[in-house]
Structure 1
Amino acid sequence: MTYGIVFVILLFIYCPTSSFAEIQIGQMILGCEIDQEDQNGDFFIHFGFNGVALVDANLDKLTCTVLLKEAEYMEDDCITSLKRNSHSVVMLREVCTLWLKEFLRYGNKTLERKAQPKISVFEKINQTTSEIKVVCHVTGFFPRDIEVIWVRNELDDLPSEGGDILPNNDKTYQVRKTIIVNRMDLGRHSYSCHVDHTSLTKKLTVAWKYKETGPVMEITVAIAAVILIAIVISSGVLIRRKKRGASARDTEIARNTEELRQMNSEM
């Protein structure tokens, strides 16, 4: 992994007597970078004007590369200036490299932290259309860079929606990639989400398996609801009938008791 430190210098130029009396901006980006594995690095300067890159200068090799044809005249002046000021170039390179190594030494705990991604695959179904949105949600990973790809039949990379990497509260990241699948293709193709990250020893692959939650499930739920309602109603009817039967028996018993009492009094 390569780390770098960059300084940006802007020079604002205003020429009121020129034919274009407005502010012009000269740009210089100076910096160094180090490969953490082999400790090799580069020291560079990029020159630009009004947002257009003109010349790249490699301060290790003391060479200049012209990036715009109109700036070809600057190449010889750039090389001559580098060689004339080689001692200053060496000093700047050493200072920049020293600072960068110190930053890396103090920040290694954060820079080298790795957290493996967690993957979930699910679908969003719209019953009014023949299309199904299938989402691959990857979260909990660090560092930020990650590759998430949808693959059909383990061969074809599919275009996807989304892809913005967002921060989590625990200083990890998350990302979503969504594809559109036609219902007609459900039995003809397989779909899987492939994830590659520096925290992994090998790529992770999670296949999407369609779960039927359409009309069949809705009909099943409706039938179950009707059966439940019927049971409740039937239970209520039986309870009322039992109450009515008990009340009739109580009335009959009371009438018979009264008749017996009257017969005994007459005797």
Structure 2
Amino acid sequence: MFLCFVFIIFLLYCFLNYAQQEKHSLLYKFTALSKADTFPEFSAGAVADGRQIKHYSNEKRVWILTEDNWTEAPEAPPDSRDWFLHQLNTLSNCTDSQCSELHVLQRMIGCELEKLPDGTVSLRAFDEYGFDGEDFMALDSETLQWIEKNPKAKAKETKMKWDQQTERNQFLKHYLKNCMNWISTFNHTRKSKPNVHITLRKAPNDQNKQVLICLTTGFYPRDIEMDIRFNKTVLKDQTSSGIRPNDDGSFQMRTSVEIDRSHEGIYDCFVIHSSLTEAVSAGWMVKCTDCEESKWPDIKGVAAVVLLAVVIVLIVWQRYKRRR
């Protein structure tokens, strides 16, 4: 009876509702190359919540919308392809189409919205540049002043020049303010629940160890929390693949950890995602008496079986008392 009670407490704990942390983003990304052999000299695209929604066509010289999930489709940033290539040539000391070395100018402009579990909302707008793989310039959207991130690469000279472009900077401030409106009109109703799988394999170098692997796949939006736990305590030294895209637009994540064969208890893969009304868990119970593992394919089904067993035990106990 006591073991059944412990199981029930554990399972009910897993089914409690968890406050969700929700993130949304709209990013425009630009790349220009001074020597374009294999790759185009200019490329640009827009990404919302991990999905590409627009890309720039160098042939047609226009932006093409690839996902129409907007009440009001976002506009592209004001600076044109030619302006971007001109900035690269200026920073690289190159004339048009003539540069002996490879130089790269990158830009990321957009905004991020984060809803915290306590109900508060955090907003962040940014316009940042990188040159030859290092941070270069960033716009302070409040003061409309540029911040030099690198003492090299003409950062001071560029800052002085860009700070004087008041009309352009006002437009950028207006653009970043509108970004918050655009991000709220994107269709965030698409949600896919994660499928959680857990497997156990022999450790390659230690017969006393095993490798517990959690695979969570098919979820959308991108943000997810996943931990491998032992008796409800998160294990250290977990190895994660990071969040990776699937072909259908959803995401997957793989986490593994080495465990000791002699440790008796319950291992579980604990997942929190915005598509779920409650956290999900797939578990593995280890009994060190015979070192066998019994997989829980569906923890809710286990809960039902345990509760049914408790009811049967109570009924039998009541009948036994009446007979006495």
TM-score band w.r.t. shorter chain: 0.5 to 0.7
Report Cα offsets for 1:177-200 as digits up to 9, x if no partner. Answer: 222222222x2x542222122223
In the alignment, what sits opposite 2:125? 42
In the alignment, what sits opposite 2:25? 3
Q: Distance in 1 between matches of 2:130 and 2:241?
A: 32
- Assess if the C-alpha contact under 8 Å between 1:15 and 1:23 holds in 2: no
- For 1:251-262, what aligned pairs fall within 5 Å after superposition? none
1:119 aligns with one of 186, 196, 201: 196
In the alignment, what sits opposite 2:213? 135
Which is higher, the Rg of structure 1 or of structure 2? 1
For residue 137 of structure 1, report the CA deviation from its aligned partner. Answer: 2.6
For residue 79 of structure 1, report the CA deviation from its aligned partner. Answer: 5.4
In the alignment, what sits opposite 1:194? 270
Show structure 2 runs of 5+ residues with no match: 1-22, 31-83, 116-120, 293-324
Higher helix share: 1
Q: Distance in 2 between matches of 1:42 and 1:98?
A: 10
- Assess if the C-alpha contact under 8 Å between 1:14 and 1:24 holds in 2: no
In the alignment, what sits opposite 2:171? 91
In the alignment, what sits opposite 1:56? 138
Alpha-carbon spacing, 1:81–1:53, altered in 2? closer, same or farther (3 Å): same
- The alignment's TM-score, normalised by the length of structure 1, stands at 0.57
Report Cα offsets for 1:225-259 as digits up to 9, x if no partner. Answer: xxxxxxxxxxxxxxxxxxxxxxxxxxxxxxxxxxx
- Assess if the C-alpha contact under 8 Å between 2:208 and 2:260 holds in 1: yes
Report Cα offsets for 1:112-140 as digits up to 9, x if no partner. Answer: 31122232333235899333222223233
Alpha-carbon spacing, 1:164–1:42, altered in 2? closer, same or farther (3 Å): closer
- Assess if the C-alpha contact under 8 Å between 1:5 and 1:100 holds in 2: no
Letter in 1 for 2:139: A
Letter in 2 for 1:51: G
Alpha-carbon spacing, 1:135–1:119, altered in 2? closer, same or farther (3 Å): same
- Assess if the C-alpha contact under 8 Å between 2:229 and 2:267 holds in 1: yes
Number of residue equivalences? 205
- Assess if the C-alpha contact under 8 Å between 1:6 and 1:30 holds in 2: yes
For residue 51 of structure 1, report the CA deviation from its aligned partner. Answer: 1.8
Q: Distance in 2 between matches of 1:199 and 1:70?
A: 46
- The alignment's TM-score, normalised by the length of structure 2, stands at 0.49
- For 1:100-119, what aligned pairs fall within 5 Å after superposition? 101=181, 105=185, 107-108=186-187, 111-119=188-196
Report Cα offsets for 1:46-91 as digits up to 9, x if no partner. Answer: 344322213322244212333234579718x625642x32222223
- For 1:144-183, what aligned pairs fall within 5 Å after superposition? 144-168=222-246, 170-183=248-261
For residue 154 of structure 1, report the CA deviation from its aligned partner. Answer: 2.8
More relative contact order, 1 or 2 (CA 8 Å, 6+ apart): 2
The secondary structure found in structure 1 opposite 2:168 is helix
Alpha-carbon spacing, 1:74–1:198, altered in 2? closer, same or farther (3 Å): same
- The percent identity for this pair of structures is 20
